[in-house]
Chain A
Amino acid sequence: MGHKTGKFSLLSATLRGVEAYPVTVEVSVSAGIPCMSIVGMPDTSIQESKERIRSAIKSCGFQMPANRIVANLAPGSIKKSGSGFDLSIAVCILAATGQIPLDNLNDMLIVGELSLDGTIRSVPGILAFGLCAQKNNKSLLSPPACDQCVEIKGTKQLNVLNLKDFVDQNFKCANFKSYQNNNVEFFDFSDISGHDIAKRALTIAACGNHGIFMIGSPGSGKTMLAKRMPSILPPLTEKEKIETAVIHSIAGSDVSPILQGLRPFRAPHHSATLAGLIGGGTPMRPGEVSLAHNGVLYLDELSEFASHVLQGIRQPMESGSVDITRADGSLKFPARFSLIASSNPCPCGYYGDREHTCQCSPSKILKYQQKIGGPVLDRIDMHLNIFRLGPSEVLHTGSGVSSKALRDVVMKGKEYRHWRENKENSKLCNNEVNNKLNTSNVSKGNMERLVESCNLQNTDMKLFEQIAKKNKMSGRGIMRVLSVARTIADINQSRCVSYSHLCEAITFRVKEKSDSAIVI
């Protein structure tokens, strides 16, 4: 009974970075000493699948051929990982030995993990597999993954629960939840009464994609404010939703808030390693910066982060992606995020707090403040001091301005900026349409463009020069102030940056090392 032989092949996929890479699974059952081998650079979890496959096939009443079985995962030079190959290999074995009908199998991309009793288990990254199926014009056959169900246009997504179902092959279509935009308002700025200047600063930061740094004592409200930043960013576009959901699906997180348009908020602990923050490991997984793609990255207690970890964030902040190179090739993870960082003013945390006395000596405070930030502070355009609210203000929660109102301001500002940049770009000869004005690129060209787009009147220009001189602002400092002023002008729908816009931008300027406590 166990002398059946045959061959069969199917399409499956493996996760590489934020994509699913198609893999052809070929199985050959031939005469020889009974054994099963899997070739094609499988990792340990795939090697272990032999036991799961054997047990599942037997539990479901099928015959496990007592022959030489070879499974090949092609192409052979790419490392395969994940437990999702169980199902495709098992189906190939059954098909090769004629135990199940073959008709529809080649129209599908099949992924799933097998339990010992034949039940099929879900694997992370279903959305990525779905996109891969779309690219290869197949439908996706997988176990149900409720929290990662996204409808993909033009691709049928079918669910299978048990290996036995392959006898009839009546697969049900996956159920998709319909997601309405803006249904989710987890955190709203109306929860916070007071902190009006902080809210204004976050609005400006959201509109112009400026990095923002908050200094305040413990409990003053920094994290509370930061958490609400995603609520004033424009909702995710359809394209951004899929982009972001794929990354989260690969990391195994719930994608439903993303599908409802809410931008991700990531707050890694300061003990995070470099790999945890920018991605990596074997197999390569997205890091916190990628999970914050199209959302907000919040670095709380910036002074506690190891400096080599902060250096690692430089590349994504400049280019919007992370390139991780390993022996078998390099992968690109997307990582375009808004940055918020915060810190205490001194080691004990209470310098400047009216209720607690600071226990630190002046030299300790100086050392602490100089240590903050390093590479990340270069990318920060705005600086804010947060002070604790008095009890009466805390008790008036719920009476603050709503996130919706602030978001409207942000969207109007962004629209104006778009319109203005389009107008300016149509005047330029070269095609730099996609070049976002990134303050990290302090090149001559960018500075010129920035000054031009500000359209300062002569009197305002002179006043600004005076202030810059008096405050000993560096070139980079001036760039940052102009950049923020340009955003404030965009919010006010003004073609020219005026004196009042400049003043507001200057009040948010980042402290530079030359700052002394006394105005000379």
Chain B
Amino acid sequence: MSTYYKFRGEKSILVPEDKLFPQSLLEIPKPPKCLYIYGNPNALEEGISIVGARCASPYGLSAVKHFGSIASKLGICIISGGAYGCDIEAHKTALYNHGKTVVFLGSGCNMPHPVKHIKIYQEIIDRGGAIVSEFPWDMPPLKSQFILRNRLIAALAKVTFVVEAGLPSGTFSTANYAIEYGKEVRTIPGSINFSGAMGCNKLIFDGATPIINDEIFLYLLNKTFGVKSSLLNKKPKVQYGKKLGFSGNPILEALMAEPMSAEALLNIAKQKCKKENPYSWLSKMLIEAENSGKICKYKDGRYGPVVS
């Protein structure tokens, strides 16, 4: 379902001969014949693409927010597809940090998809970003077009960051294109019990380097884009030997590993509550864990970790 919508802003069409047509898009086997753009045509920079599952868990979304903020603040353009879940979260993070962002649509620009994101797209245009499509203005969103659009995301960006993907996943096509075009692919690992993380874990198995903390991410950005951050040390360190202190909350510790339902947590509560009523003890620990910002309630009713 799509509606016809005309964005307010500069309208332009780029062909390969134009100066502003991104070079990286010409270097792929089947380059786009034409780019239809709403917004600033200069916005198409070779930035970082952040992609992931549409049915993202709070862990995935928080990871997008966290790493997306770091990239945005360093002036790196965030490229994605505007889809539900990780994509739109990436664009929102860029807007929130007054950074740059570009949306590649799987439909013509006058039939934006999904319809719910039209307001955000308009704001991206207003703030100097761009909504781009290789399909003619009035082309409706057809399924086959989304995979084609993914190749452009992978092509424009210097590095593709897959935040959360299950198996099978549409996000994989973007990662596969990136590899095909010789671009870097990065991902973050998830719990091996969580089906939503299986795609990312498989990418790591297939050789993608995992991003496991801020420093490694900053090192990647420095290497790829030449940006320097005051937070960056000379070499990225995974801190050995420093044991992270026990937080005093066994529920928090359990949930940092993987999402669990309250019923499953009750078993832990019954062991650790000593003389106190296990239900009271469990709820206090849960509230405390939520307050710490490291845990939240997922959409499916389980509690689980969040990147903070």
Contact = CB atoms under 8 A, between A and B. Distances in A.
A and B interact: yes
Interface of A: 194-198, 200, 215, 345, 351-352, 354, 357-358, 361-363, 365, 385, 387, 466-467, 470, 492, 499-501, 503-504, 506-507, 517-519
Interface in B234-275: 261-263, 266
Contacts of B276: 500
A385 B262 CA distance: 9
Contact of B262 (A467, A507, A518): A507
Nearest to B62: A518
Q: Pick the most buried of A200, A362, A365, A499: most chain B CB atoms within 10 A of its CB.
A: A362
A504 B58 CA distance: 23
A363 B117 CA distance: 12
B262 A504 contact: no
Interface residue range, chain B? 35 or more
Contacts of A365: 55, 299
A361 B83 CA distance: 11
Given A195-B263, A196-B266, A519 B296 contact: yes
B291 to A, nearest CB: 7
Nearest to B276: A500
Interface string B33-64: 00000000000000000000011011001100
Contacts of B263: 194-198, 387
B283 A506 contact: yes
B279 interface: yes
Given A194-B263, A385-B262, A506 B287 contact: yes
Contact of A387 (B261, B290, B298): B261
A470 B85 CA distance: 23
Interface stretch (B124-132, B155-163, B213-221, B300-308): B300-308
A362 B54 contact: yes
A501 B283 CA distance: 9
Contacts of A492: 277
Nearest to A471: B290
B61 A519 contact: no
B84 interface: yes
Given A503-B283, A507-B286, A517 B301 contact: no
A352 B286 contact: no
Contacts of A352: 298-302
B31 interface: no
A517 B298 contact: yes
B279 A200 contact: yes
Nearest to B270: A196
Contacts of B301: 215, 345, 352, 385, 387
A501 B296 CA distance: 20
B98 interface: no
A473 B50 CA distance: 32
Nearest to B285: A503
B171 to A, nearest CB: 13
29 contacts: A197-B262, A197-B263, A198-B263, A345-B301, A352-B302, A357-B195, A362-B54, A362-B55, A362-B84, A363-B84, A365-B299, A385-B261, A385-B300, A385-B302, A387-B302, A466-B291, A470-B291, A500-B281, A503-B283, A503-B284, A504-B279, A504-B283, A506-B283, A506-B287, A507-B262, A517-B61, A518-B62, A518-B296, A519-B290
